Amino acid sequence: MQKPYKTKFMSTLKKNKMNLQAMKGFTYKIFIVSSVLSLNLLSIQKPSHAIVPHVFNPNKEELKKASQQFGRTAAQLIHFNQTKEAIRVAKLAVILNPDDSRLWAILAEAQVRNNLTNEAIESLDKAKNINPNNANLWFAQGFLLLQKKEPQKAVNLIEKGLRINPKNANAYFQLGNARIMQFKNRLALQAFEKALSLKPSFWESLNNKGLVLFEMGKTNKAINVWEDVLKLTDNPEPMLALASALNQLNKGNIEALKLAKKALALNPNYISTEYQADQLWGQKLQKAAKELFAQPILSSEIEKAFENVE
């Protein structure tokens, strides 16, 4: 499968952003309008006898407007992959307005893009404290803990989010992934089936249902599932999983060999057992893949895969 956090986390956080319009001719130089947040806090007046400093104190509404502008700028910086600058700008935004959960969510996304997972989790904590009824914040934090390989914490967060929004297919998918990591196959299967009931075309969830079925010893059912997955996508994972299962039933199966050649050409990383484990392949499927790779006819493809593995 795709890594549990690989393509999902960003879309989850994006739902928490403010509606941001793309700025034409955008540049990430940040100008602070002096009437809102002046760097020249002292404007000098010249009375007849003395110099009296005038201190500009922006009110709460002006600080809020400034923070929103910083939030828009940070989101645009993320869009243009200027993520380090985005962190700096988003931090200014939350300093000016620490009570806006959307700004903390933007900061969290920028931190994730910089592989600052722990910092992003802390930012999401802030966002959740402000807006505990936003299910997506619970989901996003759960996905990050899944990335850290802390499945029980992830389960707690995702289930909390699902109590708020029980119609999120991706959340059930990630819950299933957490259950795989806990070796709780029946619970994983239930989560994937729930995700598919909400989104029947969710091939990643269908694929992982196949992973669970194979580990449960239901090889024929897993084969049927992966055949269905390949009607939805040409992804190399279900291709190689199906090839491994077919070869296990019938060593040297011609269809299995064809699928294996194609899958390894698309993604040679699947030659690595470490990579397979990262994709939540269980021990039985890893063993079946090893038996498949031992087929002499695949020797050339195996050699190329090792040369190109990342």
The answer on 309 and 218 residing in a single domain is: yes
Q: Residue 156 burial by CB count (10 A; 0-12/13-18/19+): exposed, middle or buried?
A: middle
pLDDT in tens, 109-156: 999 999 999 999 999 999 999 999 999 999 999 999 999 999 999 999
pLDDT category, 208, cuts 50, 70, 90?
A: very high
Q: Please state which of the ranges 6-15, 91-100, 168-177, 234-243 shows the lowest mean pLDDT.
A: 6-15
Q: Please state which of the ranges 25-29, 69-73, 232-236 shows the lowest mean pLDDT.
A: 25-29
The answer on 273 and 222 residing in a single domain is: yes
The answer on 249 and 189 residing in a single domain is: no
The answer on 285 and 244 residing in a single domain is: yes
- Regarding predicted confidence, which is higher, 47 or 43? 47
Structural domain including 118 reads: 60-131
Is the residue at 85 inside a domain?
yes
Distance between CA 244 and CA 290 in Å, rounded?
8
CATH of the domain at 68: 1.25.40.10
Q: Give the bridge partners for 43, in sequence order.
A: 54
Given phi > 0 = left and psi -120 to 50 = alpha, else beta, which region is 210?
alpha
Average pLDDT, the chain: 86
Domain count, the chain: 3
Q: Give the bridge partners for 54, in sequence order.
A: 43
Helix locations, 182-280, DSSP H? 185-198, 203-215, 219-229, 236-249, 254-266, 273-278
Would you state the pLDDT for residue 55?
Answer: 56
Is the residue at 270 inside a domain?
yes
Averaged over 247-251, what is the pLDDT? 96
Is the residue at 123 inside a domain?
yes
Do residues 124 and 140 make contact, with C-beta atoms less than 8 angstroms apart? yes
Do residues 139 and 174 make contact, with C-beta atoms less than 8 angstroms apart? yes
Averaged over 95-120, what is the pLDDT? 96
The answer on 301 and 205 residing in a single domain is: yes
Is the residue at 301 inside a domain?
yes
